Amino acid sequence: MSPTVFRESGYRFFFFSREEERMHIHVLSGNGEAKFWLEPEIELAKNYHYSRKELKEIESLIEGHYNELTSAWQQHFCR
């Protein structure tokens, strides 16, 4: 199961239900896929085919939705 938290600018931001415990988010679009750590700070963990410009845009979206992402993580994994 991989619940979507939100979609914006052609990107899908989601979790994999059975993965590592450290808080993170996966991002997918037609151009690539990435994984970002959310704690202890927002940081790129893996990148498949995104340009630096796209990664900067994605990180900006994560920053703008940070509270929503961490809240969704808590609701999904800590119930």
- Residues 29-39: tens digit of each pLDDT: 999 999 999 99
Residue where the block lists tokens 């931001």: 13
**Phi, psi of 54, deg, nearest 5:** -65, -40
Residue pair 17/64 in contact (Cβ under 8 Å)? The answer is no
In whole angstroms, give the CA distance from residue 23 to residue 31: 24
pTM of the model: 0.93
What SS3 state is found at 30?
A: coil
pLDDT(76) > 80: yes
* Domains of the chain by residue range: 4-77
Q: What share of the chain is helix, strand, coil (3-state, %, to 5)?
A: 30, 35, 35
- The whole-number pLDDT of residue 20 equals 80
- The whole-number pLDDT of residue 1 equals 62
The backbone region for 10, taken as left when phi is positive above 0, alpha when psi lies in -120 to 50, beta otherwise, is: left
